[in-house]
Structure 1
Amino acid sequence: MTAMTQPAAHPATHPALRTALCDLVGVRYPIVQTGMGYVSGPELTAATAAAGGLGILAGATLTLEQTRTAVRAVKERTDAPFGVNMRGDASDVLERGELLVQEGVRIASFALAPNERVIRRLKDAGLVVIPSVGARRHAEKVQAWGVDAVVVQGGEGGGHTGPVPTSILLPQVVDAVDIPVIAAGGFHDGRGLVAALAQGAVGIAMGTRFLLTSDSTVPDAVKAEYLRRGVDGTVVTTVLDGIPQRLLRTDPVERLLRQKALGRAGRSLKHAVAFQRVSGISWRDMVREGLAMRRRHDLGWSQVLMAANTPMLLRASMTEGRTDVGTLASGQVVGVIDDLPSCQELIERIVAEAGAVLTRLAAPRAAAKPA
Structure 2
Amino acid sequence: MHDRSRKQVADCQENFNYEQDINYTLKMCQWVLKTIGMWPLIYNRTSKLEKLVSIGLLITCFSCLLFFLIPFLYYMFSENNGKVKVKLIASVIFCLACTMKYCFLVLQGAGFKRCILHIERDWRTVNNPNHRNIMLRHVNISKNLNILCAAFLYTAGLSYHAIIPLLSKGKAKANSTGKSLAYPVYDPFFDTKSSPTYEIIFCIQFVTGLIRYSITLGAFSLAVLCVTHICGQIQIQISRLENVIRNKKDKHSDRNAFAIIVRDHAEILRFSKNVEETLGQICLTQIVESTLVICCLLYNTLTEWQNRNMIAVSTYSIYLISFTFNIFIFCYTGEILSEQCSQIGPASYGIEWYNLLPKKAYNLVLLNVVSLYPPKLMGGKIIELSLNTFGAVLKTSVVYFNLLRTLADW
Query: TM-score, normalising length from structure 1?
Result: 0.23
- Structure with the higher fraction of residues in strand conformation: 1
Structure with the bigger percentage of helix: 2
Greater relative CO, 1 or 2 (CA 8 Å, sep 6+): 2
- Name the larger-Rg structure: 2
